Every structure is written in C-alpha cells, then in structure tokens.
Amino acid sequence: MKREKSFTWKIIQNNLYAMKEAMSIARERVVCSIIKRLIEYLLWVFYSAFFVRFILDALEQEKPLKEILIAIVIIGGVSLILELFLYYCNNVLIPAWNVKIFHALYKRVYVKAKNVEIGCYENKEFYDKFSTAIDDMGNKLCQCVDNMSTVICGTIGGILACYTMVEIDPWTIVFLVAPLLGNFLFAPKMNKIFYDRYQDGVPYDRKLTYVNRIMYLPEYAKEFRLSNIFNVVERQYGEATEEKAGIWKKYFKRAFPIGMLQYFFSYMVIFEGILLYGAYQALMPAAPGITFSQMAVLTSVMVTASWVWVQVINAVNRGTENSLLVENLKNFLAYEEKIPENWEGELPEEEIRSIEFEHVSFAYTNGKQVLHDLSFKIESGKSLVLVGHNGAGKSTIIKLLLRFYDPTEGVIKVNGRDIREYQLAAYRKLFSCAFQDGTVLPGTVRYNVLMGSAGSDEKVENALKKAGVYEKISSLPLGIDTVLTKEFDEKGIILSGGEYQKILVARAFAKTSQIMIFDEPSSALDPIAEHELLSGILKETDGKTSILISHRLSCVKQAEHLIMLENGRIVEEGTHTELMDKGKKYAEFYRVQQQNYCATEEEEREVVLNEC
C-alpha cells in the first residue's frame, strides 16, 4: 500500500510540475483550460438535471407555453454564447498559447542541451532520457494541463451530478459509493500497471522510432538498395513490434481482472443499479418513492454523472502515461552539469605560450581507461601531430583539451594554469577546430564557413582556398551563396564527402584563433587529395600552434613534433626523422602504410611530389 501511495504521489507531483511549467510560460492557457472544462461539465449537469427538471415541472404544473418558450430561448441563447466561447478557445486561443508553450519549452530544453557536457550525449541512459524528454514534449505538457483541468472540473461536475441524485432520493448514495471504490481502490492499481507497461515498452518504442526515422533519411537510401540492410532493419522492426505486443499480452493478464472490477464498480453499479432502482421506486404500485419526472431526471443525471467520471478516469490514465515523460523532462532540466557551458573563471591571456599535459589519465563512465599517464608539452607556434591506430586515444586528447571532459587524473595547463580555472566560453574561443565527424548544415557555403560570425566575401574565399575547395565552390551557380544540401531547398547542391570535409576545414581557417586543431580532417579523401589537404594544412599553420590527428603518416613528415599513441599510452615521440632512425613502432607503421598506398617508388614521385 505504501508503495502504491508513493507511486500515486509521484504521478501527482509530475502532473503538478507540468501545470507549474505551463503556468510559468502561458498562465492564460492553464486558466482557459480550467474555465473551458468547467463550462463544459456544468453545461452537461445543467441540461441533464436542472433543465430536464424545469421542463418536466413546467409541464406537470401546466405553466403557460409562452413562459416555457421564453425560458428555453434564454437558456439556448446563453448556451450558444458559451458554445461560441468554447469554440473560440479550442480553435484560436488554446492553439496560439500552445505554440507559445512549445516555443518556450523547447527553447529551455535546447539551451539545457547546449549547456550539458558532451559526456551526457555518450551516456546511453542519460541520452535515452534526453531523447524521451524532447519527444513531442510540447504536446505532452499541454495534455497534462488538459488532463488536470479535466480531473479538477470533472470532479466538481461529478459531485454536482451526484448531489442532484441524492437530493431526489438519498438512497442513491449507496450506488455512488461504488464509483469511489472503482476510482480510488482499483484505478491506482490500473495506473501502476499502465505505467510499468509503458516503461517496459520504451526500449522497443525507441527501436521503432529509429527505424521510422531512417526510412526517410537520404544517407540510408543507397544502403537500402545496394545491400541486405533493409531486410535486417525490417526484421528488427518486426522483432520490436512482436516484443511490444508481448508486453501488452503480459500486462493484459494482470490488468484484466482489476479492469473488470473497476468497470463493474465505476460504471455498471451506477448505470444499471440506479436505473433499476429508479424504475422500481417509480413503479411501486402501493406508494411510489419517486415520480416519473423524478425518475427521468434521475436517469438523465445518472448518465451525465457516469460519463463525467469516465472522463475523469480517462484523464487520470492519460496523466499516468504522460507522467514518465514529464519526469524525464523534469530530471533533464534539473540536471546539474559537471562542465556547464556557462562555467565561470578567469579570462585566458591573449597570447598562448604553452599547452601542457601533466600525468593525464582518463576513463569514461563505463570505467574503461582510455588514456594512461600522458605527459607532453606544446610550445607556442609549434605543430604537434598525433598518430596511432584507431582507439589509441588521439581524439580523446582533443576532447580533454577542449574541456568536453575533465581528466580522471592529472592536469592540463595552458600558459602554466589549469584550464579548469578559465571561463569556459572564453577558453574555447582559443581554438579553431575541424573534426572528421563535423556537420555541414543546411544553408549557404558562406553560412557554413562563418557559422554565424561576421565576415567578408574575401574572408570566406581565402578560407576556401586554404582548404583547397575554392575552385569547386566558385564553379557553382551562386558561388559562396550556393545552398548546400536539399534539406530546406530543393535547389540545394550535394557535394561529395571529401568536399564537405574541406568545407569543415575552411570553417576552421575562417575562425581567428590562436590554436588550430584538425582531427582526421581528410578521412573521406582519396590519397592524392588527402596529401594535398594535409600538406596545405601544415603549410597554412606553419608558425602557429596547431594539433593534427592523421592516420596518413607520410603526409606529415614536416611536422615539428610527432607523438605516437598505443592503447592510450605514448610509445614514441620526436620528429619524423628521429622516429624513423629509431626503427621501432612508428617506423614499422610508416613502412606498412608505404606498401599500402604506394605501388612503386617511381609512381610515388610522379603522383605526390616525391612524397607519399
């Protein structure tokens, strides 16, 4: 019983939270919803009880027809005005306020999403809750408001209807106890079953949503046509559907007996019981307990009361289903960031003299250690190249340097100061970055290079030239004002994967920062184009502090310092010549790549200017 009370209280808290959030955004929406529901239920009760009684009493008392017609016209006129108001609320006011709530709520969610640390996106449990929190949350919040309005106003309407029945015959209170048992004894048990069923179905809903989403994404279209992946996805969809259906079957066995008891007490007793009781009282030959007009009113009010309580119960059930989503939203917005984007601190110096890793180790939340006791230093104006097999920890170093994560052990210093002491937004402005998994957004080339910052045509064109993609962009009909992708514009241009990567590199060149970072910026390029891009990057960053991650060793010979990583540890460091002279792992790695990329030494000279 205590557990059920706790569960019920949690549902109430979540729905009250939804009401509070809606009130903070659009108080009028909540007030309007309550007034609208109250008018609806009062009209139901008025027509089924008072209006029916008025007509029957007037007929029994043989009141003048004119008096009855005038009353009907007045009541009809007031009802028409109220119905027009309800129509205006449903079709004008509430939709407009809903948009306001959607906008404000999603703005809060997006701001929060931008402020949480990157690690949250790589935490499956957190990400699931985050994705659930924003899944149609605007509608869910408004539904919670409407559900609570239904519960509050429906309860008022139901009590008035029940009062009318008791007024006609006090013994009807016996029948009114039954819905209370159905609603307060069995309904919480049903709500708990619905809640558990929803939670168990979330993993399968996520699979179904994923399949539904990828079916219309263009990046999957080719794979569906050229591989067996469609059958695999279709099978996963079918399995998720069957598993979800199995959950419904499983919970049906628990819900059916309780649901039947709830139905019996909540509906049948009041429906059938009062109807039979009223007929018996009216048809008693000796001394009828109620008149036929009272029986008509009793029957009419009984129907209204029953349907009002049905509405209330359904609203409670919907509130239970929405409770989990609201709870996810509440927890997400209340989450305290470990590395918030608005992290306060000292402003970094204008001149960056050094970057230093001191005994840095790092492990993700799963406990697996990725970096082990790394120590190295980058002097101002020097270039560093990180090399190593996939999974060696190269990209993790960049994530730590950018403070997407903080080290598990050790410290990272810029100008001899722990980077955690700097204001995060100002600190991140020190870096210009291009990542292999960066994203080109729907918009013009100019927009994708400048990314919201101010800049002239010349600035954009120079960045494109440095990235080696200006010739391609200048050949397009609108040049740097050409729209990329067809996401929002059917006339948008689709570039190759390598050309998109060069746009990302141009984005880094266009940003005026002291430290430049390139994380596998050429993974989508062929060897020749890759060589040209990497050579161009090293040339353009000559004399600047830069970090380059590349799997293409022979293109970074001119780097001032190389660090080779293996299993999160530094195994070798030095210049290319020094590491080749050692003849150890770097030299072996380099020679293997030579064999893979270079057919003959003569071809190598002709194709890549004496370098591979």
Rounded CA-CA distance 294/45 in Å is 15
Q: Which residue has the tokens 């790549």?
A: 593
Residue 226 tokens, joined: 């050229």
Q: What is the mean pLDDT of residues 46-67?
A: 80
Rounded CA-CA distance 275/241 in Å is 44
- Give 89 or 263, the one with higher predicted confidence: 89
Amino acid at 193: I
Q: Tell me the pLDDT band of 608, cut-offs 50, 70 and 90.
A: very low
pTM score of the predicted model: 0.70
What pLDDT sits at residue 422? 94
How many CB atoms lie under 10 A from the CB of residue 331? 13
End-to-end CA distance of the chain: give it in Å, rounded: 74
What pLDDT sits at residue 607? 42
Question: Which tens digit of pLDDT belongs to each residue from 135-151?
Answer: 677 888 888 899 999 98
Percent of the chain at pLDDT > 90 equals 17
Superfamily of 438-512 according to CATH? P-loop containing nucleotide triphosphate hydrolases (3.40.50.300)
Residue 181 tokens, joined: 């048992």
Question: Which tens digit of pLDDT belongs to each residue from 182-208?
Answer: 766 777 777 778 777 877 887 787 777
* Domain covering 13-334 assigned CATH 1.10.10.10 in the classification: no
Phi, psi of 483 (to 5 degrees): -80, 135
Question: Which tens digit of pLDDT belongs to each residue from 392-416?
Answer: 888 899 999 999 999 999 999 999 9
Question: Which tens digit of pLDDT belongs to each residue from 23-32?
Answer: 999 999 999 9
| Beta-ladder partners of 444 | 483
Matching CATH number, 343-430+513-612, of 3.40.50.300, 3.30.70.20, 3.30.1490.20, 3.40.190.10: 3.40.50.300
Which residues of the chain are in CATH 3.40.50.300 domains?
Answer: 343-430+513-612, 438-512
3-state secondary structure 515-570: EEEEECCCCCCCHHHHHHHHHHHHHHCCCCEEEEECCCHHHCCCCCEEEEEECCEE
| Beta-ladder partners of 568 | none
31-45, 65-79, 194-208: least confidently modelled range: 194-208
Q: Tell me the pLDDT band of 111, cut-offs 50, 70 and 90.
A: confident
Which residues of the chain are in CATH 1.20.1560.10 domains?
Answer: 13-334
Residue 401 tokens, joined: 């340097």
